[in-house]
A and B are shown apart, each in its own frame.
Chain A
Amino acid sequence: MLDQTTVTADGRTIGGVLMDMRGITLRFGGVEAIKDISFDIREGEIRAIIGPNGAGKSSMLNVISGFYHPQDGEVWFRGERRPAMKPYQVARLGIARTFQNIALFEGMTVLDNIMTGRLTQMKSGMLAQAIWRGKAEKEEVANREKVEQIIDFLEIQAIRKTPVGRLPYGLKKRVELARALAAEPKLLLLDEPMAGMNVEEKEDMSRFILDVNDEFGTTIALIEHDMGVVMDISDRVVVMDYGRKIGDGTPDEVRGNQEVIDAYLGVAHD
């Protein structure tokens, strides 16, 4: 097992294996969405899962976050085999995620949305919170500080009190990232963080992802079908096609892989 630490060219430390997917197979009725896929995610790295539409990337992310349960295979997290878990239990383990189609609490303000990300961190009693006394007060203040720090970090101070339903698409994506970050996750899952964005927004988002990884040392697994951006920001890439893994390695290794090129560009049938 890969347990030694390595240092990347830009000086970040990549640790041991944080999450290990072993022989994952996921079926919906007769359709195999994921066929016997194994890969690992190491501490501190940015790991991308790419592939054309329908390759099974989102299914894989849903397996990691507990929304789907694979028929075969094992999920290992922090050196222990993870039993079948509900999504909220996975979240409490320290795995936060965002969604392809943005799942925010539209009726709540940006601040309240991000505060829900801290729910797993709150310990004081219900009554104490309602009357705002003792431990609850300190805890709320500490939580607010953390949240404000994230708000500053993602540059969304101006919209703190705005109901999320009124925000444009790109900002919603950023709020969703903020909510996931508020949980101080050990592993952050991003489902197509750049889908539907223009070039400028994509650049912003790439920068935030890199900064999050750099500043907080958060391990990030992300899904994209846009190859260009992903190759620039990730340390290692898994390539999927029709539910199979067809490539795994550094961006450069993957780029040179014939099967990957075929999957993306198509093969001449002659």
Chain B
Amino acid sequence: MSADFLYGIEVIINGLMAGVLYALVALGFVLIFKASGIFNYAQGVMALFAALTLVGIMEGQVPFAHLLNAIFGTDIHHFGWEVPALLAIFLTVLVMVAFAWAVQHFVFRHLVGQEPIILFMATIGLAYFLEGVGDLMWGSDIKTIALGLPQGGSFWVEDMTASLGGDDFYGFFIDKLDMVATVVAIVLVISLIAFAQYTKQGRAMRAVADDHQAALSVGISLNYIWVLVWSLAGIVAMVAGIMWGAKSGVQFSLSLIALKALPVLMLGGFTSIPGAIVGGLIIGVGEKLFEYTIGAPFLGGATENWFAYMLALIFLVFRPQGLFGERIIERV
């Protein structure tokens, strides 16, 4: 096989893996939008906050240390212990569940029946609030996640694939972190689908997503389901935060991954879990392949920054509901 063809395949594989990470972020949006019609602008900040919390707990940081020191004149920053990774992840999940409860209890419970634009504005407020709380709790310096996730290219894959091509082919370069992220994302998606299809709460969740009134009439508490959905979105955000945080450090820019999820949602549809996954993969592969075949040789490169948005625009014109979204039928 020619080296060019093999490099093309390598680009596609890397694109698929990047796409999985996009899908992970988009999934959080879909969960909340489907069940409550809220477009959650704060999803990216939730990923940042979850990652900050995880690092803070693992390193034994005292939350709100600066604030407490300023008030009480003390100088405490660390508890002096380190928390093992699994326990820290568990504690972070608890924090995200508590956050979900607080969001429902203090914000959205009071906005039931409001226009979507008002709910959207509320999530913008929520995003800035959460960003501030994150800074206040854990400080604003760049942190690294020390979960022990593997970094760098996999030599094993390189060695195994080097023999496929001729002398000018050196094997596939696959990032180990991307491989881990892919496995984690697949496990997460399968468990989410199992949850939605087979559990009582999952069935109730789908019911609420479909019709609020009918859900009430069969004994489903909307508040409970919304807290549940925000908790799930928080957990998905945590996983996305860990993966992206391991790649580029836990810092403010992590919250901007939400912007990467937007084109994914345009493609996949805002209401479809499979849509978020397929959309993520298409964007991931599309932008890498475009860069490799057209961007780098003809356009001077760096097309990955805008390709996804271009694709989303084209979709908006020809298929605004996305690939898997519910058909928009206007009745006159």
Contacts and interface: CB of A to CB of B under 8 A. Distances in A.
A127 B199 CA distance: 8
A112 to B, nearest CB: 7
Given A87-B216, A99-B214, A105-B210, A126 B201 contact: yes
Interface string A91-106: 1100011010001111
Interface in A128-172: 129-132
Nearest to A182: B218
A102 to B, nearest CB: 9
Interface in B198-250: 198-204, 206-207, 209-211, 213-222
Interface residues of B, number: 26
Contacts of B199: 126, 129-130
Interface in A210-269: none
A115 interface: yes
B156 interface: no
Contacts of B207: 105, 108, 116, 119
Interface of B: 191, 194-195, 198-204, 206-207, 209-211, 213-222, 326
Interface string A71-94: 000000000000000111101100
B214 A119 contact: no
20 contacts: A88-B215, A88-B216, A88-B220, A88-B221, A91-B219, A96-B217, A97-B217, A99-B217, A103-B213, A103-B217, A105-B210, A106-B210, A107-B210, A107-B326, A116-B215, A119-B207, A122-B200, A126-B201, A130-B198, A180-B217
Contacts of B194: 130-131
B203 A112 contact: yes
Interface of A: 65, 67, 86-89, 91-92, 96-97, 99, 103-108, 112, 115-117, 119-120, 122, 124, 126, 129-132, 179-180, 183
Contacts of A104: 211, 214
B218 A183 contact: yes
A109 to B, nearest CB: 11
Contacts of B222: 88
B203 A87 contact: no
With a 10 A CB-CB cut-off, give which of B194, B199, B222 has the most chain A CB atoms.
B199
Contacts of A86: 216, 221
Nearest to A132: B198
A105 B211 contact: yes
B223 to A, nearest CB: 9
With a 10 A CB-CB cut-off, give which of A116, A117, A120 has the most chain B CB atoms.
A116
Contacts of A131: 194
B203 A116 contact: yes
A91 B191 CA distance: 30
Given A105-B207, A105-B211, A117 B195 contact: no
B218 A130 contact: no
A112 B207 CA distance: 9
Contacts of B198: 129-130, 132
